Copies of this chain bind each other. A is one copy, B any other.
């Protein structure tokens, strides 16, 4: 445990520091067990000061979940320099690696252990909605028309990707590359429909 110096931080820096400590703690224990006092201790501030930045323990927990979701979205942002299908493959690889590397923090959110709380659920829903939006926007470049049916398929596909990734982490019976390949193929398969999918490369 490295001692944290009592340095003067700007409000933004202090807020970020507290969230960062919370995220790190989330790797060891469930969200409900993250104590505001422990975080304040580690930051070298009083619990009172923490409550200056976050109205309640619930607000602090929510900020941790928001940060983690935003981080995942940042890591999986599409790279416009790649070919259309490679953009999907690249984003999937980033997703699988992000979830693997952050299984302590991101997996509990995915598995919905926080989902009895409506605010937490909203963050998860917004995160999924953003993933759906990205994919739907990308469909035309793959030659797929975004219809009500394809949009529903994309929603389903996001759930497919989450579940396949979770199951794979639990029992990795195929290689990482095969998992990514499975997920990319599944997108083209479910959105293009069975016949059309056969004509798409790889």
Binding site for B on A (CB under 8 A): 111-117, 121, 148-149, 151-153, 155-164, 167-168, 173-174, 178-179, 182-183, 185-186, 188-190, 193-195, 197-198, 200
Contact = CB atoms under 8 A, between A and B. Distances in A.
29 contacts: A112-B112, A113-B116, A113-B121, A115-B115, A116-B116, A148-B173, A152-B174, A152-B182, A153-B186, A155-B163, A156-B160, A156-B161, A156-B167, A156-B183, A156-B186, A157-B160, A159-B160, A159-B163, A160-B160, A182-B190, A185-B190, A188-B194, A189-B193, A189-B194, A189-B197, A190-B190, A194-B198, A195-B198, A197-B197
B115 A182 contact: no
A175 to B, nearest CB: 10
Contacts of A189: 186, 189-190, 193-194, 197
Contact of A164 (B153, B164, B168, B173): B153
A148 B185 CA distance: 16
